[in-house]
């Protein structure tokens, strides 16, 4: 050893015990290192006072206590052994994260320490532990936050896409082994883009937070909720396959999410569409079930938004055909497949038609007539919206030129068309070409146009006012409904939102008060009021008492073809007496179709003539007595037990043992379906249900191989009479 090294060693050994203790004390107080010791029973015999100060508990309350009760594991995954177990093994350990079992209010966040320890022996006899500790609180919570951000959406606090995918995959894998069901909902917000684009991303973020909060409060059963990004959410509900309950949950979500939101930037109203799929009925693994829920969501949005839809196998073809329709929209305009229908707008006091509102329809060469509601959903968001809107204005002006001068034509203006540079020129050219006075063209403009550039909007409105066309603020009461719009824009009329009108019928005074206020406001501003979607005479009378000037809806007439409108407008004024017998034409698939009914293990093919929640009318079997029980196979695993309550030759009226429920698209479905697990137990591979009948399903256990004997005879086919 060198002389310098020898001098250094002598200097170090020259430190007294007091100096060494002082150095250890300084080390403890610095927080860089703490010390602890326990006896052979595991009770604390020594603990650095800095640790006691850190957790806010007097040192005297800690000494003598078992180390395993003073500190508990802070391991987030719960994979490490407990502290008492490690101490009991009398083996060295290190890097063990713990937090105090008891801590003061000021340490409510929970200090986290990293402990290390080595057993001490007197000869071979164990005497306790000696160890060190370090404060890793900041490091621990940084890692925890990093892990949280990797699993949860930073904006809403809900599970993120990655975590939802993992949860659904692991849940369905476990449920497959346990033969359990699981529902998945895909949810997309309606009109959210308008809020984000016009009020800014800060408003959009705040809105998403409020949506997440409402979504969490609206579902009262065990579930996992996630935000997948943008305005798309996902819900997983384990152990549920009852479509009645799922439909109620979906409608509650839709109802809660469409209530007005208060943001710093203003008030807004949005909506939601929901697609629902159930495992294993609509898919066995996560990829299949989520895809099925996605298709159902796509269908719900295309069917008018603000509704839910259960998955069914036919949605595959429906989605493909829908995309083809969107792609062929440009061809439809060029080949003149589009046409207009007209809905009368009637003066409430004298029942005279004063205007006709245009509705765009499509006569498709394969699908047949695509009505105004379905066409509107196809057009929404399409790149052809400006071209179609321009065509509609031109066509409406041409038709209206042949009507009496007292009748106007009203055209709904899409936001994209209003914002286009050529819009005002388009209107002017349409009026000139048709030689139609400008005051006979009424343009219905929604509040959404005001979400664009203020200068551009004001300039366009001023140019339209200069042309002399009438302007109506459409859907007033559905969104922001700012009085600033009415002050800035030269509107001639306000059209009250249809949803607000229907709420007035359902909830009486409060909503009727809102309508009275709108009428009074319009009167003060010298504007007319229009109410839409009226079906009942009771609602008509209430709105008339409120002072609404113009009304439209099924109580007067559904949209009619051009030739009908032309005929009605010949001669004297067209008058329509309101009638509550007229109801809105229901949009539903035909019920007249072939189905299977099962009796004593024998399957019969019959014709389903009509279907309601409580029963059905079938045709095709002779001499079926009352009280006969059938299992009605509605397809796709939907079996309903029914009893014959009426019989007349080859026709039977059935009453279901359990009522059908809404399928979310205007139709009906069974609450439950045949379980793929039951079919699997009968020898079929575990797979999503096919669209066929139960007889045709592998594992359906019905056949015509002679094992079952038919009890009823088929009726003879109806004979066609010569004309």
- Helical packing angle, 161-178 and 137-151, nearest 10°: 70
What was the pLDDT predicted at 480? 54
What was the pLDDT predicted at 108? 44
Considering just the CA atoms, what is the radius of gyration of the chain in Å? Answer: 37
Residue 702 DSSP class? -
Q: Break the chain down into helix, strand, coil percent, rounded to 5.
A: 40, 25, 35
What was the pLDDT predicted at 719? 45
Backbone angles phi, psi at 234, to 5 degrees: -140, 140
Query: How far is the C-alpha of 220 from the C-alpha of 357, rounded, in Å?
Result: 43
> Longest Cα pair distance anywhere in the chain, in angstroms?
131
| DSSP-based three-state secondary structure for 662 | strand
What was the pLDDT predicted at 290? 96
Do residues 597 and 633 touch, judged by C-beta distance below 8 A? yes
Do residues 638 and 668 touch, judged by C-beta distance below 8 A? no
- Helical packing angle, 315-327 and 372-379, nearest 10°: 70
Query: How far is the C-alpha of 644 from the C-alpha of 646, rounded, in Å?
Result: 6
Write out the two tokens for 210.
């409020």
Length of the chain: 723
Query: How far is the C-alpha of 103 from the C-alpha of 106, rounded, in Å?
Result: 8
What was the pLDDT predicted at 286? 95
The phi-psi region of residue 413 (left if phi > 0; otherwise alpha if psi is between -120 and 50; otherwise beta) is beta
What was the pLDDT predicted at 32? 63
What was the pLDDT predicted at 323? 72
Query: How far is the C-alpha of 72 from the C-alpha of 78, rounded, in Å?
Result: 11
Do residues 220 and 240 touch, judged by C-beta distance below 8 A? no
Task: Give 561-567's long-range contacts (Cβ < 8 A, gap of 24+).
Answer: 561/341, 561/342, 562/339, 562/340, 562/341, 562/342, 562/399, 565/342, 565/356, 565/399, 565/403, 566/399, 566/402, 566/403
Using CA of residue 480, residue 482, residue 484, residue 490, what is the dihedral sign?
positive
Q: What is the mean pLDDT of each run of 10 residues along the chain (723 residues)?
A: 49 61 68 82 88 83 87 68 79 85 54 89 91 85 76 90 94 95 95 77 91 94 94 96 96 91 82 95 95 91 83 74 73 83 93 94 78 75 82 94 94 90 94 95 86 80 92 76 68 84 63 82 89 87 90 91 92 85 46 85 90 91 94 93 94 94 84 93 89 84 68 71 35
Residue 8 DSSP class? H
What was the pLDDT predicted at 158? 94
């Amino acid at each position: 050893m060198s002389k310098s090294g020898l001098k250094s060693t002598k200097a170090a050994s020259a430190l007294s015990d007091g100096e060494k203790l002082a150095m250890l004390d300084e080390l403890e107080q610095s927080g860089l290192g703490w010390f602890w010791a326990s006896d052979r029973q595991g009770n604390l015999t020594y603990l650095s006072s800095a640790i006691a100060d850190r957790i806010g508990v007097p040192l005297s309350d800690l000494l003598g206590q078992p180390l395993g009760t003073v500190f508990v594991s802070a391991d987030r995954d719960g994979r490490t052994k407990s502290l008492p177990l490690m101490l009991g093994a009398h083996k060295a350990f290190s890097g063990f994260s713990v937090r105090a079992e008891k801590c003061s209010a000021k340490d409510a966040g929970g200090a986290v320490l990293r402990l290390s320890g080595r057993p001490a022996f007197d000869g071979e006899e164990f005497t306790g532990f000696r160890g060190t500790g370090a404060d890793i609180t900041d490091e621990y919570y940084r890692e925890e936050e990093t892990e949280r951000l990797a699993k949860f959406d930073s904006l809403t606090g809900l599970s993120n896409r990655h975590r939802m995918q993992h949860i659904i995959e692991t849940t369905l894998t476990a449920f497959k082994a346990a033969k359990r069901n699981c529902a998945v909902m895909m949810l997309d917000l309606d009109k959210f883009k308008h809020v984000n684009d016009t009020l800014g991303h800060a408003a959009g973020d705040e809105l998403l937070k409020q949506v997440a909060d409402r979504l969490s409060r609206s579902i009262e059963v065990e579930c996992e909720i996630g935000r997948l990004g943008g305005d798309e959410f996902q819900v997983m509900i384990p152990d549920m396959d009852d479509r009645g309950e799922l439909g109620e949950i979906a409608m509650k979500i839709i109802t809660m999410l469409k209530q007005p939101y208060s943001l710093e930037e203003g008030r807004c109203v949005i909506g939601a569409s929901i697609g629902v799929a159930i495992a294993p009925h609509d898919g066995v693994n996560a990829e299949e079930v989520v895809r099925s829920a996605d298709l159902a969501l796509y269908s719900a949005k295309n069917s008018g938004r603000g509704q839910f839809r259960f998955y069914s196998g036919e949605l595959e073809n429906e989605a493909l055909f829908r995309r083809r329709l969107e792609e062929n929209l440009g061809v439809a305009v060029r080949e003149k497949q589009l046409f207009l229908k007209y809905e009368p707008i009637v003066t409430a006091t004298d029942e005279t038609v004063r205007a006709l509102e245009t509705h765009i329809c499509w006569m498709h060469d394969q699908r047949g007539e695509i009505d105004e509601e379905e066409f509107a959903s196809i057009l929404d968001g399409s790149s052809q919206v400006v071209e179609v809107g321009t065509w509609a204005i031109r066509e409406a002006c041409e038709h209206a030129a042949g009507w009496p001068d007292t009748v106007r034509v009203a055209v709904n203006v899409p936001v994209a068309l209003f914002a286009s540079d050529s819009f005002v020129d388009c209107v002017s050219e349409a009026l000139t070409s048709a030689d139609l006075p400008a005051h006979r063209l009424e343009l219905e403009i929604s509040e959404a146009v005001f979400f664009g550039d203020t200068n551009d909007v004001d300039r366009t409105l001023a140019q339209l006012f200069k042309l002399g066309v009438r302007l109506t603020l459409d859907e007033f009461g559905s969104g922001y409904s700012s009085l600033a719009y009415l002050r800035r824009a030269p509107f001639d009329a306000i059209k009250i939102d249809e949803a607000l009108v229907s709420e007035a019928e359902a909830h009486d005074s409060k909503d009727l008060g809102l309508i009275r206020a709108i009428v009074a406001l319009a009167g003060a501003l010298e504007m007319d009021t229009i109410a839409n979607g009226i079906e009942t005479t009771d609602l008509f009378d209430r709105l008339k008492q409120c002072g609404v000037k113009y009304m439209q809806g099924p109580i007067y007439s559904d949209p009619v073809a051009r030739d009908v409108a032309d005929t009605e407008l010949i001669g004297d004024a067209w008058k329509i007496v309101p009638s509550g017998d007229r109801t809105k034409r229901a949009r539903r698939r035909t019920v007249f179709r072939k189905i299977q009914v099962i009796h004593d293990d024998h399957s019969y093919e019959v014709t389903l003539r009509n279907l309601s929640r409580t029963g059905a009318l079938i045709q095709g079997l002779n001499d079926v007595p009352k009280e006969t029980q059938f299992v009605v196979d509605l397809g796709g695993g939907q079996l309903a037990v029914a009893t014959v309550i009426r019989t007349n030759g080859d026709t039977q009226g059935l009453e279901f043992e359990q009522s059908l429920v809404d399928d979310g698209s205007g139709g009906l479905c069974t609450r439950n379906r045949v379980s793929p697990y039951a079919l699997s137990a009968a020898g079929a591979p575990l797979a999503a249900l096919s669209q066929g009948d139960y007889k045709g399903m592998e594992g359906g256990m019905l056949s015509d191989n002679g094992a079952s004997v038919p009890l009823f005879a088929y009726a003879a086919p109806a004979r066609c009479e010569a004309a």
